[in-house]
Chain A
């Protein structure tokens, strides 16, 4: 049994309300989670959910109003020096001097730590070797993000906190960054990943918590969360002509009444959506085959973390629904 690398229990953080007499805002109301060594742990939620405040408490940048934070067995508020030495942080909006080069930044940040990563290796890992002598202001968004990650890793941290690291990147750069985060984890660093992108969390995280309104609303592995969704699987069918489509509606409506594995069949746009248990696809295909109605296209409806969010919060997931609390 190993102790968790990061342990947050019942964390609470309140900011004074904006404007005179405004009610204080609960940025984090009740957040608990544990991060095990060597995993990529996700903190997922819409902007303003309290993700950044949570990790800033973990990094020791903010003092919690309630609850407990333990990182590598220590309270960041009582042992700040230890946390700064062993936790690498990549902040959401942090930048460097415009005119500092990639190599200089790595060199100077490395000099702050007692154990420093080999800069040549780090530049190679982050695909920055060719940009070593380039000034910060002249880097692309993706290159800046990669440098920011490199600076978070230069002190050979045990834990790396990466906050919204693919925001503003193009799809190719995002995918490259995901691969990079996996390589970082594979090198033995525990990664605490903050993101408002559902697909990013689903693709990268070993485990995650979903935060909404300052509270944890769901937690677990992405696949377990999706497995745990109520309601069933869905199948969507497309037909070449209206005749076939009309016959299919009849066949499938009858199927839904007859077969316990099929809940409902209903037109969805120019398609037909059939929902039911895990066996719904078999049932649909058999029924259509028996009636000799041939669909043009059959696809299963993909279920994602977004559906998990909708289920636990009862509303649509909109990443930008709230402004992040400024303090």
Chain B
């Protein structure tokens, strides 16, 4: 009757329903993500496949590292390659999988579509950050377990240091991935830009020239790149013979502090 009852009252607890449906969103996004075989292959399988393939194919990777300090002089040569493979897993997800996902959401108008619903588009990005972390755990875990079981790689000397460097590598590289996706208006644009950073990053993290035989100048440049610092820090943590990878940890923290706010600030939602 009156004008007032036709009008919807403002909700009392504003923001309370902000995360309604987040669990459902995460579960659905994960289900849909698993339907893309290419993305799943690169995010989950590619690093372990490379490790096992090279570990079984290259004779030097199977022979013990006789010139390494004990107890590593009995470990197979591929041991020094495993930390690089873990860095590769981080790099692959953050520079190939993630930017393409986010730019495609923008390209298809999914972010804009969500902003007309009570679910903020930020939560879709959040859900995919969670999915990518899960993918990384599976991918890096498979490489570690595969390396240990199939190739006889010994367990890390400082597992907690390895874990710390892995977490910091993830924050630094995911921030870089977010920045790559921040402005790209198409999935293909983000893919191209991601690849442009991905391949040099792989080079400095020892995928093509193993860290152990990398020239000093390359290693010095690598220390200041996020994925290079990641591979070096993981290697130091795995072998435990060079103390704490302080320089690498600081580099990773610095990259995160610079890249994450930049990625968030530049990210376009439409």
Question: CA of A72 to CA of B11 in the docked complex: distance in angstroms?
Answer: 13
Asked whether any CB of chain A lies closer than 8 Å to the CB of B15, the reply is yes
CB-CB contacts below 8 Å: A72-95 with B = 72-74, 79, 81-82, 84-89, 91, 93-95
B7, A94: Cβ atoms closer than 8 Å: no
Asked whether any CB of chain B lies closer than 8 Å to the CB of A291, the reply is no
**Mask: chain B, 7-47; 1 = CB below 8 Å from A; 0 = not:** 11011001101001100110010011001100000000000
Question: CA of A100 to CA of B35 in the docked complex: distance in angstroms?
Answer: 9
What residues of chain B lie closer than 8 Å to A25, measured between beta carbons?
none
A61, B108: Cβ atoms closer than 8 Å: no
B28, A94: Cβ atoms closer than 8 Å: no
Shortest distance from the beta carbon of B234 to any chain A beta carbon, whole Å? 34
Asked whether any CB of chain B lies closer than 8 Å to the CB of A15, the reply is no
CB closest chain-A residue, reference B109: A94
Other-chain residue from B21, B32, B115, B270 in contact with A100 (beta carbon distance below 8 A): B32
CB-CB contacts below 8 Å: A168-212 with B = none
B6, A85: Cβ atoms closer than 8 Å: no
Q: In which size bucket is the chain B interface? A: 20 to 34
B31, A113: Cβ atoms closer than 8 Å: no
Other-chain residue from A2, A94, A113 in contact with B113 (beta carbon distance below 8 A): A94
Majority secondary structure, B binding face? loop
Asked whether any CB of chain B lies closer than 8 Å to the CB of A1, the reply is yes
Question: CA of A86 to CA of B7 in the docked complex: distance in angstroms?
Answer: 11
What residues of chain B lie closer than 8 Å to A292, measured between beta carbons?
none
B6, A37: Cβ atoms closer than 8 Å: yes
Asked if A81 meets B28 with Cβ closer than 8 Å, knowing A99-B35, A111-B20, A114-B17, the reply is no
Majority secondary structure, A binding face? loop
B116, A84: Cβ atoms closer than 8 Å: yes
CB-CB contacts below 8 Å: A101-139 with B = 104, 107-109, 111-114
Asked if A96 meets B24 with Cβ closer than 8 Å, knowing A81-B11, A112-B118, the reply is no
Shortest distance from the beta carbon of B131 to any chain A beta carbon, whole Å? 13
Question: CA of A142 to CA of B175 in the docked complex: distance in angstroms?
Answer: 39
Other-chain residue from B7, B10, B35, B118 in contact with A113 (beta carbon distance below 8 A): B118
**Mask: chain A, 237-262; 1 = CB below 8 Å from B; 0 = not:** 00000000000000000000000000
Asked whether any CB of chain A lies closer than 8 Å to the CB of B186, the reply is no
Question: CA of A158 to CA of B7 in the docked complex: distance in angstroms?
Answer: 11
Pick the most buried of A72, A100, A111, A113: most chain B CB atoms within 10 A of its CB: A111
Asked whether any CB of chain A lies closer than 8 Å to the CB of B183, the reply is no
What residues of chain A lie closer than 8 Å to B25, measured between beta carbons?
108, 111-112
CB closest chain-B residue, reference A151: B113
Question: CA of A100 to CA of B124 in the docked complex: distance in angstroms?
Answer: 14
CB closest chain-B residue, reference A5: B6
Shortest distance from the beta carbon of B22 to any chain A beta carbon, whole Å? 9
A2, B115: Cβ atoms closer than 8 Å: no
What residues of chain B lie closer than 8 Å to A50, measured between beta carbons?
none
Asked whether any CB of chain A lies closer than 8 Å to the CB of B3, the reply is yes
Asked if A81 meets B32 with Cβ closer than 8 Å, knowing A1-B3, A3-B3, A72-B7, the reply is no
B28, A104: Cβ atoms closer than 8 Å: yes
Shortest distance from the beta carbon of A327 to any chain B beta carbon, whole Å? 8
B24, A61: Cβ atoms closer than 8 Å: no
Question: CA of A81 to CA of B17 in the docked complex: distance in angstroms?
Answer: 9
B117, A155: Cβ atoms closer than 8 Å: yes
What residues of chain B lie closer than 8 Å to A315, measured between beta carbons?
none
Shortest distance from the beta carbon of A158 to any chain B beta carbon, whole Å? 7
What residues of chain A lie closer than 8 Å to B116, measured between beta carbons?
59-61, 84, 87-89, 91
B32, A73: Cβ atoms closer than 8 Å: no
Shortest distance from the beta carbon of B136 to any chain A beta carbon, whole Å? 21
B24, A111: Cβ atoms closer than 8 Å: yes
What residues of chain B lie closer than 8 Å to A85, measured between beta carbons?
11, 17, 118
Asked whether any CB of chain B lies closer than 8 Å to the CB of A97, the reply is yes
CB-CB contacts below 8 Å: B90-134 with A = 108-110, 112-113, 115-119
B108, A96: Cβ atoms closer than 8 Å: yes
What residues of chain A lie closer than 8 Å to B11, measured between beta carbons?
81-82, 85
B110, A79: Cβ atoms closer than 8 Å: no
CB closest chain-B residue, reference A92: B109
CB closest chain-A residue, reference B22: A111
Asked if A97 meets B3 with Cβ closer than 8 Å, knowing A104-B28, A112-B21, the reply is no
Question: CA of A107 to CA of B23 in the docked complex: distance in angstroms?
Answer: 12
What residues of chain A lie closer than 8 Å to B28, measured between beta carbons?
100, 104, 107-108
B112, A91: Cβ atoms closer than 8 Å: yes
B112, A61: Cβ atoms closer than 8 Å: yes
B32, A104: Cβ atoms closer than 8 Å: yes
B118, A81: Cβ atoms closer than 8 Å: yes
Other-chain residue from B7, B21, B109, B118 in contact with A93 (beta carbon distance below 8 A): B109
Shortest distance from the beta carbon of A309 to any chain B beta carbon, whole Å? 30
Other-chain residue from A61, A73, A88, A95 in contact with B8 (beta carbon distance below 8 A): A73
Q: List 7 A-B contacts (CB under 8 A).
A: A84-B115, A84-B116, A89-B116, A94-B108, A96-B113, A112-B25, A114-B20
Closest 4 CB pairs of A and B: A111-B21, A73-B7, A94-B109, A89-B116
